[in-house]
Chains A and B, each alone.
Chain A
């Protein structure tokens, strides 16, 4: 049987592999190639060397968007994970209606980012209007608006992962700790959290990369107002690509830099939290 499966392996892999090549590898390589080109359409490009990268790095708005995005990623990482963990703890207690609450907290995740952005824009502007101001007038309104939005959207999702992690902690370990006289707080920090490290790794990875890659919420909530001050990296790349004639290559170069950055940060974060994982 084992052998039979191995023999058929290529057949099983083939469809997904084709899709992966067409949908990921080809566009990715083309994207890297285009970042060295001047082009109007992607099939008709002229090699220009590193000038796109020079323009990309000279762009002060791009640098601003980097710091703004980095700050956003860190703040959203903390907010999402702390609240998701607390919710998961609360919803694994023995009480009535936990399933209902889990469902409700998860629901915002099912709504698309663009829609959420516009809905929250109405809410925020409605509130701010009574103070005679609006979301698009201050970059920090936009910043906290985005934090609230993504927290609301992603806490439920991370909560589910944490709940799964909490439920997989063997009861005997907790019991042993209890018998040894560990207090609730001690049990949380000395037993639960170390046992949960795999879930924490994955949640932190997801929320930090989501933070960096955030696009549709940014586009619909603030669109970069005022004057690109609330423009995050993904939106900046998009605007560079379409904002000026002849700047498609620069947008592409920014996208490659962005890719390297996100992969790098993801790797560092994975390594840092992996090292804290314990064997059960």
Chain B
């Protein structure tokens, strides 16, 4: 009897200990921040929710360096690839919310507007090299770009030469098509294909439903003289079809099997020299470095529009820093100081430009060691017009997914009816999604 009582008391004690230690954890974390706060006598703290997993390590190091220098505690949390919006939603609901986060452009801003601090008069907004790198709502600057990126068609110089061409032979869609189709015709003899698989798996489909779709949108915006719309007309969708046809019919895999191909497949095909062309951007350099820096170049994506000889690669950003307006005032100030330090101090610029490989739209930008960036800049220097990034105006993820699914279905069965479905998803989908966003 007594034994039982002892056991029951022990059990209860064990459970309660478990509970207390469970709660205790969060208490520890709090006291830790308190300690560092008090120790450095710094006001405010920074909590950065980072978007780029590939730069996580560098951000952590930079944060530590900043804390060592100024005593302001900086926490960096990195969201897993493709999980940023979800992570941000849950982090923002917490008491200790991120003070520094990012949105991808006007559409992203619409969702987070209530949380964005007006940075119009801050040093960082004034430090931008070009007005267009500020994300504005009316007159207010709510976001500032911190990295500029390029994308186009990455190609393997050696393979292209083996096929008997150089980049100079490709000046527009027609010449590009000729080269690609010639490579396909001699595929067995050459031992490689023109394009890597245009994978429509979730890890790769954004290259086509978002990045490639930017080109018809860009040319339509140019025609209309606008930079956003609620109703796209789809003037250049025939061109979109042309380039998509070219991609899928000259690739390493059968068009019907595209839905099974991943981003890694495309990288592997490019690196193992199974294909010459690979559509992606400057951020992909680390993946494909095995080909050898000197063998890699980047071409503009030609879709057969008049005057496209003067077109450069697609240059822009979908990474805008925003400061949480609901954070405490001293935290906001600390965050602004941190941002400014990152893009002006030697250590910050060194880390962002060299270690993370970014091109930053600020005075202090260093020359890049990324071949793709330099190749892309060569177009700019040659006086070509860069294509701006308009995909941040796409009305929603739903729209992108709709276009992506229709493209996959079309690839498997290349008929006019299936293409009409792409047009419907593109044009009608845009209108309904723009109306649905509220």
Contact = CB atoms under 8 A, between A and B. Distances in A.
Interface of A: 1, 4-5, 8, 11-12, 14-15, 18, 38, 40-44, 121, 125, 129, 132-137, 223, 225-228, 239, 242-248
A243 B396 contact: yes
Contacts of B378: none
A145 to B, nearest CB: 13
Contacts of A43: 93
Contact of B111 (A12, A40, A227): A40
Given A15-B19, A133-B412, A244 B433 contact: yes
Contacts of A11: 12, 16
Contacts of B202: 223
A9 to B, nearest CB: 11
Given A244-B397, A244-B436, A246-B438, A15 B15 contact: yes
A156 to B, nearest CB: 28
Given A18-B19, A246-B111, A134 B397 contact: no
B260 A125 contact: yes
Interface of B: 1, 4-5, 8, 11-12, 15-16, 18-19, 85-86, 89-90, 92-93, 107-108, 110-112, 114-115, 200, 202, 254, 256-260, 395-398, 401-402, 405-406, 408-409, 412, 425, 433, 436-438
B86 to A, nearest CB: 6
Contacts of A133: 256, 412
A55 to B, nearest CB: 8
B408 A225 contact: yes
Given A4-B5, A136-B259, A243 B401 contact: yes
Contacts of A245: 107-108, 110-111, 396, 437
B9 to A, nearest CB: 8
Given A41-B93, A227-B402, A1 B4 contact: yes
7 contacts: A38-B438, A42-B93, A125-B257, A132-B257, A134-B412, A135-B259, A243-B398
Given A40-B92, A137-B409, 15 more contacts: A4-B5, A14-B16, A42-B90, A44-B93, A132-B257, A133-B412, A134-B258, A134-B259, A136-B259, A226-B409, A227-B406, A228-B405, A243-B398, A244-B396, A244-B433
A137 B259 contact: yes
A159 B422 CA distance: 46
Contacts of A244: 395-398, 433, 436-437
Nearest to A15: B15
Question: What is the interface of chain B mostly: helix, strand, loop, or mixed?
Answer: helix
A137 B99 CA distance: 43
A260 B4 CA distance: 44
A134 B1 contact: no
A145 B173 CA distance: 41
Contacts of A228: 401, 405
Please give me the 9 A-B residue pairs with the lowest Cβ-Cβ distance, nearest first: A136-B259, A245-B111, A227-B405, A41-B93, A244-B396, A41-B92, A243-B398, A246-B438, A15-B15
Contacts of A5: 8
B93 A129 contact: no
A242 B85 contact: yes
Given A129-B257, A136-B259, A242-B85, A226 B12 contact: no
A40 B114 contact: yes
Contacts of B90: 41-42
A40 B257 contact: no
A134 B257 contact: yes
A15 B14 CA distance: 10
Contacts of B19: 15, 18
Given A41-B92, A244-B396, A245-B107, A8 B8 contact: yes
A246 B402 contact: no
A125 B114 CA distance: 45
Nearest to A45: B93
Nearest to B113: A40
Given A136-B408, A226-B405, A243-B396, A12 B12 contact: yes
A137 B433 contact: no
A243 B401 CA distance: 9
Contacts of B16: 11, 14-15
B396 A135 contact: no
A1 B436 CA distance: 64
B1 A1 contact: yes
Contacts of A239: 398, 401
Given A134-B256, A134-B257, A225 B405 contact: yes
A216 to B, nearest CB: 14
Contacts of B8: 4-5, 8
B433 A225 contact: no
A66 B394 CA distance: 28
Contacts of B89: 40-42, 248
Which of A5, A18, A135, A136 has the largest number of chain B CB atoms within 10 A? A136
Nearest to A248: B89
A118 B410 CA distance: 24
Contacts of B401: 228, 239, 243
B93 A137 contact: no
A222 to B, nearest CB: 10
Nearest to B395: A244
A121 B258 CA distance: 14
